[in-house]
């Protein structure tokens, strides 16, 4: 991991953007407009913690207004700074464009260590931050819609919604002011696992491409692939779960305090419970301890999934990486220097702003649900089941044969909310993979998949800006 004090995450995003923009037809003015952050809100606000007043630093950045609302998570971490929030907001613009989610990119963050505060204190902080966003119109179902990110989850999203609704009484679409909410507060089934599931669908799609696998000297498909996951948070945990269920082997799970290794495969749920009981993934029964997370990244494997924070693989450790595929589940885990090394080494990097777009895709479904005020499947589930029951009865009567109960239940089943969300996400990830790969194939000069993904994104945002014109 880089210890370089001059490191700029936004600078890295700009570098990747510039590298890709050469493969597009847009003039420099449009490119500059796409690249810059449109609005930056930087705030300090006081919160009473115990007997003391703490002044907290926070941000919300809206990178692009080519579509409305803006969309992106809110992060709680001591590493939060303006440069990081700007970079993450920019990635959200490109991410939404790639998966055809009609939002501009945004991101927010509060510079705190959430572990140092009680739930009551975190609620106060979250509510005050939301009030600050409301004051400047930096939140609302039609303007800017936050979601969970590193250090936040459903609980914080519920507090945001409640604060917003209290300050905007009677606003009929208020539930759409934030996504990633608990189901009871207008959340959608499948949102929690969405990013990890999207990571799985995306890598599976690439692994199902025989020509791509042949180049990497790997067999086609997911089964028996040796996978390392760095970060056992929500994204890493669910990515590991879906890979294990598809018969891949999770040979190593890495956390900030070290990693565990078992070549026969680890079960993420058992490891999670062990961590809950002991405070660490280390000393997991049957697994070997590895001293640092950084060492784990360099182990031999087929697929490496960094699912923690940005900037974990740079020009220093990239030469030691032995994976054949790197799936960026986190935002910005690789620096542009690492990218150059992997191009030379023939390692396939599946880029973040496409691969971890599952979260925002399902956020889009949640937002649509909130605006329509009805649960997915409510209107058609029973109707489908009634029609299917009738069809089965007709088939049995006409053939004089019985369909077995398992098959019958499968055919009859009308789609529930979670079925529709999963299928919408799968369709989205398959479509995006093919769009990026087609772009890359059409232009063999494009050096890597990240650049191809940027080209796809820049073209979509550019087309939007061109059609919009410049106001006034």
Residues designated as active site: 107
The reply to whether 141 sits near ligand GLU by the rule CB under 6 A is no
Q: How far is CA 414 from CA 22, 36, 255, 385, in A?
A: 48, 46, 40, 5
Closer by beta carbon to ligand GLU, 97 or else 259: 97
Q: Pick out residues in 73-112 that bind ligand GLU (CB under 6 A).
A: 73
* Comparison of 31 and 177: residue with beta carbon closer to ligand GLU: 177
Cα separation values, 382 from 132, 166, 389, Å: 44, 36, 10
Applying CB under 6 A, does 363 fall inside the site for ligand GLU? yes
- Per DSSP bridges, beta strands 303-306 and 70-76 are unpaired
Exactly one of 60, 71, 181, 226 binds ligand GLU (CB under 6 A); that residue is 71
- Give the three-state DSSP class for 181: coil
Contacts of 450 (CB under 8 A, 6+ apart): 16, 20, 339, 349, 351
236 vs 251, beta carbon nearer ligand GLU: 236
Distance CA 401, CA 395 (A): 8
Candidate segments 71-79, 318-326, 374-382, 389-397, binder of ligand GLU by CB under 6 A: 71-79
What is the nearest approach in angstroms of ligand GLU to the Cβ of residue 415? 23
Told to check if 360 binds ligand GLU by CB under 6 A, we report: yes
**Contacting residue, 69, 359, 377, 462, with ligand GLU by CB under 6 A:** 359
Of these, 64, 179, 293, 335, which contacts ligand GLU (CB under 6 A)? 179
CB-wise, 313 or 329, nearer to ligand GLU? 329
Q: Which long-range contacts (CB under 8 A, 24 or more apart) does 444-448 make?
A: 445/23, 446/20, 446/23, 447/19, 447/343, 448/339, 448/342, 448/343, 448/349
Residue 425 sits in the site that holds ligand GLU (CB under 6 A): no
Q: Which of 84, 144, 149, 302 binds ligand GLU (CB under 6 A)?
A: 149
- Asked if 453 is part of the footprint of ligand GLU (rule: CB under 6 A), the reply reads no
Q: How far apart, in Å, are the Cα atoms of 447 and each of 94, 244, 347, 439, 443? A: 18, 31, 12, 12, 9
Q: Does 62 bind ligand GLU (CB under 6 A)?
A: no
Which residues bind to ligand GLU, rule: CB under 6 A? Answer: 71-73, 147, 149, 179, 331, 356, 359-360, 363
């Amino acid at each position: 991991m880089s210890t370089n004090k001059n490191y700029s995450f936004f600078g890295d995003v700009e570098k990747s953007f510039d590298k890709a923009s050469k493969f597009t037809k847009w003039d420099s003015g449009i490119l500059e407009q796409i690249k810059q952050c449109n609005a930056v809100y930087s705030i300090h606000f006081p919160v009473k913690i115990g007997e003391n007043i703490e002044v907290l630093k926070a941000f919300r950045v809206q990178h692009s207004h080519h579509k409305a609302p803006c969309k992106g998570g809110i992060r709680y971490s001591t590493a939060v700074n303006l440069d990081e929030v700007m970079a993450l907001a920019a990635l959200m613009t490109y991410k939404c464009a790639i998966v055809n989610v009609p939002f501009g990119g945004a991101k927010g963050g509060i510079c705190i260590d959430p572990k140092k505060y009680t739930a009551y204190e975190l609620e106060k902080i979250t509510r005050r931050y939301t009030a600050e966003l409301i004051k400047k119109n930096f939140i609302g179902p039609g303007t800017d819609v936050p979601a969970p990110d590193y250090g936040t989850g459903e609980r914080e999203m519920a507090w945001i919604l409640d604060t917003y609704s209290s300050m905007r009484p009677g606003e009929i679409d208020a539930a759409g002011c934030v996504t990633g909410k608990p189901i009871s507060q207008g959340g959608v089934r499948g949102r929690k696992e969405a990013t990890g599931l999207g990571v799985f669908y995306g890598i599976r799609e690439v692994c199902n491409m025989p020509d791509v696998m042949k180049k990497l000297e790997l067999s086609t498909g997911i089964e028996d692939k040796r996978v390392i996951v760095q970060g056992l948070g929500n994204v890493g945990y669910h990515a590991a779960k879906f890979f294990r269920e598809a018969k891949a082997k999770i040979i190593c799970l890495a956390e900030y305090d070290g990693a565990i290794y078992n070549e026969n495969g680890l079960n993420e749920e058992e490891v999670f419970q062990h961590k809950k009981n002991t405070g660490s993934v280390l000393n997991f029964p049957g697994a070997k301890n590895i001293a640092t997370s950084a060492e784990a990244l360099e182990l031999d494997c087929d697929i490496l999934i960094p699912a923690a924070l940005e900037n974990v693989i740079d020009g220093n450790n990239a030469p030691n990486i032995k994976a054949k595929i790197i799936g960026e589940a986190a935002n910005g885990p690789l620096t542009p220097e690492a990218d150059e090394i992997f191009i030379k080494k023939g390692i396939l990097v599946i880029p973040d702003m496409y691969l971890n777009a599952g979260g925002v895709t399902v956020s889009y479904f949640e937002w649509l649900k909130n605006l329509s005020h009805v649960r997915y499947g409510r209107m058609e589930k029973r109707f489908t089941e009634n029609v299917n029951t009738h069809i089965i009865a007709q088939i049995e009567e006409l053939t004089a044969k019985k369909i077995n109960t398992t098959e019958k239940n499968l055919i009859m089943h009308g789609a529930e909310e979670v079925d529709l969300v999963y299928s919408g996400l799968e369709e989205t990830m398959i479509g995006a993979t093919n769009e990026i790969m087609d772009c890359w194939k059409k232009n063999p000069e494009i050096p890597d998949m990240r650049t191809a993904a940027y080209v796809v994104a820049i073209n979509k945002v550019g087309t939007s800006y061109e059609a919009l014109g410049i106001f006034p």
